[in-house]
Amino acid sequence: QVQLVESGGGLVQAGGSLRLSCAASGSIDSITAMGWFRQAPGKQREWVAGIGSRGTTNYAISVKGRFTISRDNAKNTVYLQMNSLKPEDTAVYYCRASVSSSDYWGQGTQVTVSS
């Protein structure tokens, strides 16, 4: 079992920045990859960024160049640095941990970008 707790969401003006955090606990040694997803009102949840166990990162085209995913293994925490935010980035952001054939999700954190 893995527990995930996200934090760092909030209200920001367009062009601003936020940093989301995802703290993992439990069977963290079994985590193979972690990622950030988001879900806007009335839309399906979509993948935003991912980081593998060796630090390899990948990004959705919509956020590439603006968002950066990173991990601090000593703190068991994954971050999502979001710069140049746009109103269309408004969503609930979720952290996901992949363990073998299972996925674990956090409770989500709201990000609202005003124009």
Which residues share a beta bridge with 19? 81
Provide the pLDDT for residue 104. Answer: 96
- What is the rounded average pLDDT of the residues 57-75? 96
Q: What are the pLDDT digits (tens) for 22-59?
A: 999 998 888 889 999 999 999 999 999 999 988 999 99
Provide the pLDDT for residue 53. Answer: 86
Distance CA 7, CA 58 (A): 21
Provide the pLDDT for residue 30. Answer: 87
- What is the rounded average pLDDT of the residues 86-95? 98
Q: Given a cut of 90, is residue 2 above it in pLDDT?
A: yes
Q: Is residue 43 a contact partner of residue 110, using CB atoms and an 8 Å limit? A: no
Residue 31 has φ and ψ, to the nearest 5°, of: -75, 130
